[in-house]
A and B are shown apart, each in its own frame.
Chain A
């Protein structure tokens, strides 16, 4: 129930295309869903995050779509650029009492070809 399943494991997209990464969860107590971006040799950095009271959040070229009933959420990268090539992690958190678990998916390695 604590798992977050992420797909695909790797993704190759042409410059200007749309990159889509999907995540699914089981624990309905999760109430915060961030996406982190990691470049080689660096720590992850927050990209965008959503709470389940909204179905979509957009920041620039990055959009999270959230489907509460299906327990799924996805990251869409519009007009993908070579600089977006990185590993992306979805995550889920349950804020209840003294719990502080942040559960990550296994990651998606995105390569954007020029």
Chain B
């Protein structure tokens, strides 16, 4: 089944404890992206990767890192999480950007205490 998977789906952690949210797609997509969704703010792009060679910041990259070492995986890294990073995170991928549909993962709900 063609899909975008994220792990974990739910995570409660404490301030400053490094964490990684994994994202994987099995559709051979070039483009991958991370978004965070907060009530009243919609979806905001954190980082995107046009392909394995090009990764760049979105609108809200502060406090996040990403890595695109292979086409299928695009992990999101929070080196020192803070409570303002409590949010619902979505990974997405598409064959190309922007004219192809972005397929979203199921989301990861992160709580930072």
Q: Among the listed B41, B54, B106, which residue makes an inter-chain contact with A98, where contact means beta carbons less than 8 Å apart?
A: B54
Tell me the minimal C-beta distance from B22 to chain A in angstroms.
Answer: 15
B44 close to A43 (CB less than 8 A): no
B33 close to A106 (CB less than 8 A): no
A2 at the interface (CB under 8 A from B): yes
Evaluate whether A103 and B59 lie within 8 angstroms (CB atoms) in the complex, with A43-B105, A98-B54 already known. yes
Q: Chain A contacts of B48 at CB under 8 A?
A: 100-102
Tell me the minimal C-beta distance from A65 to chain B in angstroms.
Answer: 20
Q: A9 to B54, alpha carbons, bound, how many Å? A: 35
Q: Chain A contacts of B4 at CB under 8 A?
A: 43
Size category of the A interface is 20 to 34
A-B contact count (CB 8 A): 70
Count residues of chain B with CB under 8 A from any CB of chain A.
28
Tell me the minimal C-beta distance from B113 to chain A in angstroms.
Answer: 23
Evaluate whether A89 and B43 lie within 8 angstroms (CB atoms) in the complex, with A42-B106, A98-B56 already known. yes
Q: Chain A contacts of B40 at CB under 8 A?
A: 9, 106
A104 at the interface (CB under 8 A from B): yes
B42 close to A89 (CB less than 8 A): yes
Docked complex: A58-114 residues within 8 A CB-CB of B: 89, 91, 93-95, 98-107
Residue of B nearest to A6 (CB): B42
A12 at the interface (CB under 8 A from B): no
B56 close to A100 (CB less than 8 A): yes
B102 at the interface (CB under 8 A from A): yes
B64 at the interface (CB under 8 A from A): no
B45 at the interface (CB under 8 A from A): yes
14 contacts between A and B (CB under 8 A): A6-B42, A32-B98, A32-B99, A43-B90, A46-B102, A91-B43, A100-B50, A100-B98, A102-B45, A102-B98, A102-B102, A104-B35, A104-B42, A106-B42
